[in-house]
Chains A and B, each alone.
Chain A
C-alpha cells in the first residue's frame, strides 16, 4: 500500500510539474499573436451575448489596443477563479477582465498601466432597511484616511453590523470586506457576480459590494430595478490602483506595448469614448 501511495504521489508530482511549468519568456513585437483572456460574466466590462459571443468594454478595448500594437489578437473566455493561474501556466498572454491592480496580485503577475478607475459601492434592495443609508463623506479614499473618512468607515461598519454581505470571490471587494468589516459582518462569497445578484434579490444576503461600473448599468436596467446603491464611493487601499491588463512577469516587453497603446488611447480620447459607451459615465483612467 505504501509503495502504491509513493508511486501515486510521484505520478501526481510529475503531472503537476507539467502543468505548472511557466511558458518561457519571449520578446514581443509587431505581428505577434496575443491571446487575451476575459471572464465574460461581468457586464459591462465583459459579457457573453445571447449567441455566445464575448462583448463589452474590454472586448472593444482589446480590439482597439491590438490595432495600436499591430498584433493579432484573440479574446478567450476563462472563469474568474482560475484566471491568474491559467495566465501563469501560459494558456494565454494577458488578462483584461475588470481586474484591479493590487499589491497582492502584483506579487504574482505584472500589470499594464490602468485603463479604468471606478469606485466600489454597496447595493441593497429597495425594501431593505439600509436603502437610505448615506455617509457624510460621499467619497472614501482608503490610501490616506482623514477624520471625515474615518467617520464614514465607522458608519459603514455600524450600518452593516451583524448582517450578511455578498461579494464575488477573489476580488478586491472581498479583500476590503475581510479587512475592514470581517469582524462585524458575515461575508458570503460567490463564483460569479450574477449569482450574487440572484441571492441579493432572494434576500439571502443583506447587501452586495461591487464596482460602481457594474452597478450603474445594472440598476438602470430592468434586472436591477429593485436595487439601490448606498453608502460612500470607495477607492484606493485594498481596492487598488485602477483596472489594468494582467501580464506574466516574464513578459515585460508585452507590458510595455500595452502601456504605450493605453496611453495612446487616452491621448486621442478613444478610451473615454469607449468607457462612456459601455458604463454610461467616464470610468476611463487618466494620465
Chain B
C-alpha cells in the first residue's frame, strides 16, 4: 500500500462524484416514468401491449448493461443513417448514450418492481373504488398507485443502489466519473489497489446515504405509522373540540 497516494488523489476522485450522481439521478428519474408507463401497460390486460412490455423487459433484463451501453455507444456510430439523422448530436455524446442505456435498463427492472406493487393491491379495494363511482384514472391515482409505490419501495431502493454502482460502467465509453477517473490515475501511477480502495470508499458513502434516505421514506409511508399519525390527528381534534 502506498498510503502517500491517498491525500494526493482522493480529491481528484471526489471531483468525479457529481458526474456519478448526475448519471444515476437522471437515468433513475427518466427511468421511473418509463417504468410506470411500462407497468401500467403490463397490467392493462390488452394483449399486444402486454406482449410488447414482456419482450422489452426480457431483452433489457436478459442482456448485461455493459453490452447495452456498448451497443448504444459504439453500435450507433456504425450506421451512416444514424450519423446523418437528427439523433446524432445526442448519440454522438458518450454522456447521453450512457443516460439512454441506463434509463432503458432501469425502466425494465423498475417496471417489474412496480408491477409487483400494483398486483399486490387487493382487488376488493379496486371494486370498492368502482362502486364509489371512481373512473379508471382516479382509481389508479388515489387507490392503486399510492399503495403500489409503498409496496415497491424496498425493491426500488435496491434498484437505486444498483444504478449508482452501474454508473461505473460509463467509464468504458470514455466518461470520467469516479471509476473513470480512478482508471485514468491508475494509468499514471500503476497503483490499482490504492485507487480502487478510494473509489470503493466513495461508493460506500454514497450508497450509505441513499440507504438511510430510503429507510426514512419507507418508515414515513408505512401503514402503521400512517395509521398512528391519523389516530394522533383525530385525538388532537377531539381534544380541541372539548374546549
Contact = CB atoms under 8 A, between A and B. Distances in A.
B1 interface: yes
A17 B188 CA distance: 21
Nearest to A84: B190
Interface of B: 1, 74, 76-78, 83, 92, 94, 172, 174, 183-184, 186-188, 190-193, 197
Contacts of A16: 1, 193, 197
A27 to B, nearest CB: 26
A224 B184 CA distance: 28
A16 B192 CA distance: 11
Interface string A1-27: 000000000001100110110000000
19 contacts: A12-B197, A16-B197, A17-B1, A19-B193, A20-B1, A81-B183, A81-B187, A85-B193, A169-B183, A169-B187, A188-B174, A189-B174, A189-B184, A191-B172, A198-B74, A199-B74, A201-B77, A202-B78, A204-B92
A203 B77 contact: yes
Given A202-B83, A203-B77, A108 B190 contact: yes
Contacts of B186: 81, 85, 170
Interface of A: 12-13, 16-17, 19-20, 81-82, 84-85, 88, 104-105, 108, 169-170, 174, 188-191, 195, 198-199, 201-204
Nearest to B88: A203
B47 to A, nearest CB: 39
A-B pairs with lowest CB-CB distance, top 8: A202-B77, A170-B187, A84-B190, A85-B192, A198-B74, A108-B190, A169-B187, A188-B174
Nearest to B171: A191
A85 B94 CA distance: 28
Contacts, number: 59
Given A19-B193, A202-B83, A203-B83, A174 B1 contact: no
Nearest to A17: B1
B174 A174 contact: no
Contacts of B187: 81, 169-170, 174, 189
B195 to A, nearest CB: 10
A204 B157 CA distance: 36
Nearest to A199: B77
Contacts of A191: 172, 183
Contacts of B183: 81, 169, 191
A85 B190 contact: yes
Contacts of B191: 85
B21 to A, nearest CB: 22
